[in-house]
Amino acid sequence: MLGWFSKRKEEVVRMGSRSHGLVVQDAATELNLALIAMGKGDQVSAMKCIERLMMLEREADRIEDRLCADVSGGELSVQEREDLIHFIRKMDQIANWCKEAAIHVQLLKETNALVPEYIWLEIGKMSDELIPAVKHLVKVIEGMDSASTETVRNIEAVYDQEKIIDGLYFSCIKHVHLSPMDPRAVMLVRELIFTIEMAADTCKNCADTLSIMMVARRV
């Protein structure tokens, strides 16, 4: 009976982690749509995307709190509990970085900063590559029990996406400094690019934690 309750609790945590991941994925998607809209000069649509992103970030926080409480009260080992809570909090940080990016988009709008279309397009490419990184993390959560080759491939895919975003980051920063933007715009755009880079790095950290958890279960 104790084993059944333990298994049941683990299933609740897994499903909650998946739901959390899907909300974070939606936040990354809204950020990407906002950046695309800004590139097209459609600030109204961009702000609507940001409003939805802010709601999703708050929902991610709510799920994070509930999940951490579930993990703390479960029958997991101390190490598994620590690893899971670390993963949940890191996953939530991806949504937090998306929110930070959205704030900088708002500031660029409110300060009437002139950002060339090609810069918006490059930033949009960075955020576009963030979405599959989060999707692969969700797939890893779904396949944690099996530790299959497909699950390992999804972890490796997160690492690949992080490398792609790294390359885009350096290219985008270079073009920002070579652009005719004024210093205020350069500063805000640099911060915006940095937040997307940090979101990608956090995806990699999540994949690292999941990989460690999978190895520990096989020992």
pLDDT digits (tens, 9 = 90+) for 177-201: 999 999 999 999 999 999 999 999 9
Residue where the block lists tokens 């652009």: 179
Please check the confidence at residue 7 and state whether its pLDDT lies above 60. no
What Å distances lie between residue 207 and 46, 111, 164, CA to CA?
30, 37, 16
pLDDT tens figures, 101-148: 999 999 999 999 999 999 999 999 999 999 999 999 999 988 776 657
Q: What number of other Cβ atoms are within 10 A of residue 20's Cβ?
A: 25
Of 75, 197, 94, 98, which Cα lies nearest the Cα of 138?
94
The superfamily CATH assigns to domain 2-214 is Phosphate transport system protein phou homolog 2; domain 2 (1.20.58.220)
Q: Give the span between the Cα atoms of 190 and 178, in whole angstroms.
A: 12
CB 85 within 8 A of CB 16: no
